[in-house]
Each structure stands twice: as structure tokens, then as C-alpha cells.
Amino acid sequence: MKLAARLHAVQPSVTLAMSARAAELRQSGTDVFAFGVGEPDFEPPDAVLDAAREAIGKGVSKYTAVTGIAPLKAAICDHARRKKGFSPVPEQVTVTVGAKHALFNLAIALFEPGDEVLIPSPFWVSYPEQVRMMGAEPVIVPTREEDGWRMSGAALAAAVTPRTKALILCTPSNPTGAAYTPAELRALLEVVRAGDYWLIADEIYAELSYDGASIRSVAELAPDLLDRTVIVDGGSTTYAMTGWRIGWAISPRPLAKALDTVQGQSTTNPSAIAQHAALAALTGPQEAISRMRDAFQARRDVMVAELNAVPGVRCRVPEGAFYAFADCRGLYGLPWGEKRIASDEDVAFFLLEKAHVAAVPGGAFGAPGYVRFSYATSEERIRAGVASMRQAVAAARG
Ligand code: PMP
Ligand code: GLU
């Protein structure tokens, strides 16, 4: 059996693999602490569920326009005006099967062999793999915890070459939770302005920033770059709609037209019912967002404090998203079965086996030595899960 060469360099999604592993363990009767996959445990707002039921009742069961129904595209434009400080038109909007699909469509439309795509690390697992799948080259720009996991303008400038096709920026970040301040973003945009490449801004965690931090869209900060900026967002994180699979891209019209072609030859429209649900999410009551944000902030505080109380684990306070990204190198050397813990992968598998805690090794995000703990679960589960970690570590220390 021979697979296409483009798959040789591509890794499966580690975040999804961890989620599958945890589900397997759960099915075999183990109570697993699910800090692996980043998925809100909340239900979507009532308006979303009602709209979906209503859509089914009304007989919404046919194809829609490839890039989405008109009222949803209008609502996405309105959302951009309210939240992102710019005014796109519906022709710029592509509604997709989740934000991951928006990014994949963009990769198909933009990347080809010979292209370099700048990706600051730690990065979300799918960015480099999607780039590789297109035969293009991900160029990783490392950032350091000491710098708050932020890339400086100078580091970005040093990575740009004539082959640079795009920069993929995610703030607040998965996996670090780090969020650029508007001033820091402006400094990066200054460098982008001096170049000639696409800016793909993954703003899926834009509603999840804590302690009143101001998250501004690159679209608002650099309106002059809108002819080569793409904003990616969706319903998964903001409205806890992961399984509904609705995301979107807002891009300049010629690119939006290309995305229409790509999508028209692949998935066609995202589920019609899910589109009606997403419309209700964007146009219905928005209180759920701040309620979820407050809950996430409280959970973050518990997760970080608890992790820091595990000897050998050190965790920075993230500004946004729902991930704690902890330095676990202090656990290296602990005995584990026949061997000793020697990598972040060992740490993750040790935690799964001995503490029934599912978490994702940092190597998957380009940051070996770290482990990502999602706190999109209740405070009670967070406390119990980290207590279980503490016990496992204490037992290993003997
Ligand atoms: N970008 C980032 C940074 C993510 O963490 C995720 C996963 N929530 C996605 C994109 C994809 O989201 P979706 O579920 O909408 O495909
Ligand atoms: N964004 C989530 C995560 O990183 C969901 C998993 C995925 O889409 O890969 O865990």
C-alpha cells in the first residue's frame, strides 16, 4: 500500500490522540482526569440548542451556499464590527467546518512547495502539519517562557526571508495561554508591515482573557494590512460548540473567492443546522461568554496554584485561553517502572498511568520539557486530578 508522499512528513494530531487515549481508559472503567483535550465542559447557550431544534422543525435539511447562509455571514460581519473593530462585508466570510477547517482551507489556497510559513513556538499542533501537508516548510520561531512566551519584533524580522508566505499568529495562545498586549502586537505588526506576506490571525481564544487584559484584533490595530490579513475564529471556544463544527475565516475578497472554490470541491457547506445554531450563538444573549470567562479564570487560578504545589512542577500564570503550560523537567529522573522519567512524553504517560491524569506533552507543541494541562473542567476535578498527580509523584519519590 502506497500513501501520497505529502503524508510522509505529517504527524497525527497529538491533542486528539491524547483525547482518544483518555476515552479508551474511561471506557475500561478508569476515572480519568481529562486535562488533555482543550474543550469547554459547558453546554452551549440555550439559544443555540433552541435554534438547532427549531431549524430541524422547520425542515432545514438541504445544502446551503458553500460558504454559509447569508444571515450567518452578516452576523459574523457584525461580530467583527463589535468585537474586532473592523467592518468586513459578507463576501469576505467563509463559514467552515470548525476553525481547523478554515486553517486547512487557507493552507490549500496559499501554501505550496518553496513557501516558508512562520510559526512562533510553542504552537498549536495543527499549524506546522497543515503547512507540511501542502509541501511547504514551517519555520518555527522559538519564544521563551522568560519572555512570557512572546515573540519580539526582532525575532520575527530575523525569521523573514524572500520565501516567507505567511505568519500564523495565535493570541491568546494554545498551548501557553500567553496573550500579547496591544503594544506588543503593534510592534509585531510593524515588522509584518515591512514585509510582503500573509498574516493569519487565529483569534479563537479572543474572548478568553483574564484579569481584565485587553485583547485587540490585529484587524483593528493594522487596518492598512487588511489586504493580506486573515482572521480565523469560530464557535468552538467562545460558545462551547466544539462538536457543532462551525468556524470561519474573514479574508480579502480574492482569497475568499479561492476559499469558496476549495470548499466547493471538498466539504461543500458546513452542516445547515449547525449554521443556524451558530447564528443564534452570535445574535442571541451573550451573557454566557462572561460567565464562562469568569469560571475559566477561577479554574486557571486553581490549576496553576495546585500545579505549583507539586514538587518538580513549575507553572507560569497564563493570561488567556484554557491551558496551563507547566515546566515538568523537575520530574525527570523519577523512577517509573523499569526506567526513569526522561522526557515530557514520559511525564505525560507516567501521569496517565499512575495518576489517571490526561495531559499533552509539550514536545507536540514544539516545547519539550513542558506539559499542557487543559483546565476546561470543573474546579473540583482540577483539585482532585492534581492531588492524584501529587500522590503519584510522592510515591515515585519513595
Ligand atoms: N485554533 C486553535 C488555536 C485551537 O486551539 C483550536 C481548537 N479549539 C482550533 C483552532 C480549532 O478549532 P475548531 O474546533 O473550531 O476546529
Ligand atoms: N484545540 C483543542 C486542543 O488543542 C482541540 C483539539 C484539536 O482540535 O486538535 O486540545
Give the ligand at the shortest distance from the Cα of 202: 1
Burial (CB < 10 A; 0-12, 13-18, 19+), residue 27, is exposed
**Closest of 331, 333, 340 to residue 370, by C-alpha:** 331
Residue 214: per-residue pLDDT: 84
pLDDT at position 20, please? Answer: 85
Q: In 98-151, which ranges are continuous DSSP H helix?
A: 99-110, 126-133
| The C-alpha cell that represents 204 in the structure block | 479563537
pLDDT at 193 over 90: yes
Task: State if residue 164 touches ligand 1 by the CB under 6 angstroms criterion.
Answer: no
In DSSP terms, 358 is beta-bridged to 34
pTM higher than 0.95, yes or no?
yes
pLDDT of residue 13: 82
Which pLDDT score is estimated for 188?
98
Q: Where are the domains of the chain?
A: 5-43+288-397, 50-283
DSSP 8-state code for residue 364 = G
C-alpha cell at 260: 469558496
Write out pLDDT tens, residues 112-134: 999 999 999 999 999 999 999 99
pLDDT at 15 > cutoff 90 = no
Span from the CA of 183 to the centroid of ligand 1 (angstroms): 25
Look up residue 151 and give its three cell numbers.
Answer: 515573540
> What was the pLDDT predicted at 376?
96
Ligand 2 pocket test, candidate residues 21, 39, 97, most atoms within 8 A of CB: 39
Mean pLDDT value of segment 203-225 = 96
Whether the bond between 172 and the residue before it is cis, its omega within 30 degrees of 0, is yes
Amino acid of residue 254: P
Annotation: CATH topology of 5-43+288-397: Aspartate Aminotransferase, domain 1 (3.90.1150)
CATH architecture, domain 50-283? 3-Layer(aba) Sandwich (3.40)
- The 10s digit of each residue's pLDDT in 275-319 is 999 999 999 999 999 999 999 999 999 999 999 999 999 999 999
What integer is the mean pLDDT of 61-69?
A: 98
318 Cα: distance to centroid of ligand 1 (angstroms): 18
At 16, the pLDDT band (50, 70, 90 cuts) reads: confident
pLDDT above 90 (res 346)? yes
Mean predicted lDDT score pLDDT of the chain:
96
For the chain, the farthest-separated pair of C-alpha atoms sits apart, in whole angstroms, at: 63
CA torsion sign for 166, 172, 177, 179 is: positive
Helices 46-57, 272-283: inter-axial angle, 10-degree rounding: 140
Q: Does residue 96 surpass a pLDDT of 90?
A: yes
> Would the pLDDT of 46 be above 90?
yes
What is the best residue among 19, 105, 209, 237 to mutate for testing ligand 1's pocket, by most ligand atoms within 8 Å of CB?
Answer: 237
Beta strand 198-202 with 164-170 is parallel
Among 255, 284, 274, 235, which Cα is nearest to 64's? 274
Ligand 2, residue 98: give the atom nearest the CA.
8
Predicted confidence band at 194 (pLDDT cuts at 50, 70, 90)?
very high
Ligand number with the minimum distance to the CA of 126:
2
Q: How confident is the model at residue 37 (pLDDT cuts 50, 70, 90)?
A: confident
User: In the predicted model, is pLDDT for residue 202 greater than 90?
Assistant: yes
Angle between helix 70-83 and helix 272-283 axes, rounded to 10 deg: 30
Q: Hey, which of 11, 174, 246, 371 would you mutate to test ligand 2's pocket, going by the most ligand atoms within 8 Å of its Cβ?
A: 174
